[in-house]
Chains A and B, each alone.
Chain A
Amino acid sequence: KQEVTQIPAALSVPEGENLVLNCSFTDSAIYNLQWFRQDPGKGLTSLLLIQSSQREQTSGRLNASLDKSSGRSTLYIAASQPGDSATYLCAVMDSNYQLIWGAGTKLIIKP
């Protein structure tokens, strides 16, 4: 059974710092891995999608990596801003085309 874990559960850093969020999964048989952002009380916004054959994707200040063999992904945020404060969710699409979700990392960027 696929399980997705995100560490840490919460993170607070000063504005301007670079930071890394971690996601691990137990079964390497995935189609893709996705990172989402969720603002308090809101729906989810897709940030990056990495296909199983890819190793990374970049969008602006965000870079996501995927190491399928070790069951790990990282989301790198460069030059963090207060507007980056949100909960970041990682999800893997398993062999049944279902998304399996981590519990998220709550990120606070202090001005």
Chain B
Amino acid sequence: SQTIHQWPATLVQPVGSPLSLECTVEGTSNPNLYWYRQAAGRGLQLLFYSVGIGQISSEVPQNLSASRPQDRQFILSSKKLLLSDSGFYLCAWSGTSESETQYFGPGTRLLVL
């Protein structure tokens, strides 16, 4: 069966510090991978998605970046965190059929102080 992991579960970082959140998927090959941010009381916002190694599409301009160094690894990064980067970050995967459902990881709660 497929599983998706995210770490860390929670993170408190000072403004201006770097960020690296990791997501890995097991039990499937060549998944589509997604990074979302969820702000309190709002819907999920798609940040990045990837259909393959090294292929990253960005949905919103921001100081975050994403990379996919391996087929089942998706990394969300920042060189300098802003206060507005605080939120709940969710990684998800789906099959290669574009209309399939997405399966979500447990999330990382980031607090920037």
Contacts and interface: CB of A to CB of B under 8 A. Distances in A.
Interface of A: 4, 9, 31-32, 34, 36, 41-46, 49, 51, 89, 91, 93, 97-104
Given A49-B101, A93-B99, A97-B99, A42 B44 contact: no
Interface in B21-77: 41-46, 59
Most chain A beta-carbon neighbours within 10 Å: one of B46, B102, B107: B102
Main secondary structure of the interface of A (DSSP, over half): strand
Interface residues of B, number: 21
B107 A42 contact: yes
Contacts of B42: 103
Contact of B98 (A42, A97, A100, A103): A97
B43 A101 contact: yes
Given A34-B101, A97-B99, A100-B43, 10 more contacts: A4-B43, A36-B104, A44-B92, A45-B104, A46-B102, A49-B101, A51-B99, A91-B43, A99-B46, A104-B43
B89 to A, nearest CB: 10
A50 to B, nearest CB: 11
Contacts of A31: 98-99
Given A41-B107, A42-B106, A97-B99, A89 B43 contact: yes
A91 B34 CA distance: 15
A102 B43 contact: yes
